[in-house]
């Protein structure tokens, strides 16, 4: 992940609402540009795939990755446009602005994510708010 130091939190739990075993991974790092943030988010998702349970995605194995970018640079436009899609896995990037004590993420909800995105936002707000 761009040779930067990152902090990773990983939890695995059985969740009936997601029909199986869910690996939730938070990867916390930094980025100063939209390109760096996108690269970090993609690398965080790939890391999440590498630690996910061996159960196949869509057949009892689920993955939710929160790439958490901590920055003082305004990445509002990037986070409002960056909406990665993966088969039977979620990449939910979050930008944390410590100086402003705010958390930002994409507010749109894809049709295929209607059931889950409200929970992702609640997790981001409660877990990551400075």
Contacts of 31 (CB under 8 A, 6+ apart): 37, 39, 40, 69, 71, 73, 75
Residue ranges covered by each domain of the chain:
7-128
For 55, list phi and psi in degrees, rounded to 5.
Answer: -65, 135
Q: What is the pLDDT of residue 114?
A: 80
Q: What is the 3-state secondary structure (H, E, C) of 38-104?
A: HHHHHHHHHHHHHHCCCCCECCCEEEEEEEEEECCCCCHHHHHHCCCCECCEEECCEEEECCCCEEE
Q: What is the pLDDT of residue 18?
A: 63
Q: Which residues of the chain register pLDDT less than 50? A: none
* pTM for this entry: 0.90
CA nearest 45: which of 24, 75, 18, 17? 24
Q: What is the pLDDT of residue 58?
A: 77
Q: What is the pLDDT of residue 53?
A: 87
Q: What is the pLDDT of residue 19?
A: 66
The pLDDT tens digits of the residues spanning 51-75 come to: 998 888 878 788 999 999 999 999 9
Q: What is the pLDDT of residue 101?
A: 94
Judging by DSSP bridges, how do beta strands 102-105 and 94-97 pair with one another?
antiparallel
Task: Dig out the tokens for 80 from the structure.
Answer: 């409002």
Q: What is the pLDDT of residue 63?
A: 93
Q: What is the pLDDT of residue 112?
A: 74
CA distance 39 to 2: 8
């Amino acid at each position: 992940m761009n040779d930067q130091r990152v902090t990773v939190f990983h939890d695995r739990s059985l969740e009936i609402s997601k029909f199986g075993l869910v690996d939730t991974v938070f990867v916390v790092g930094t980025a100063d540009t939209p390109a760096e943030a996108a690269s970090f988010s993609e690398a965080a998702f790939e890391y999440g795939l590498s630690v996910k349970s061996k159960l196949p995605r869509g057949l009892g194995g689920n993955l939710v990755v929160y790439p958490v970018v901590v920055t003082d640079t305004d990445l509002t436009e990037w986070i409002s446009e960056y909406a990665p899609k993966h088969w039977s896995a979620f990449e939910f990037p979050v930008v944390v602005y410590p100086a402003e004590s705010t958390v930002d993420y994409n507010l749109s909800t894809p049709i295929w994510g209607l059931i889950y995105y409200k929970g992702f936002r609640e997790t981001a707000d409660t877990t990551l708010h400075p």
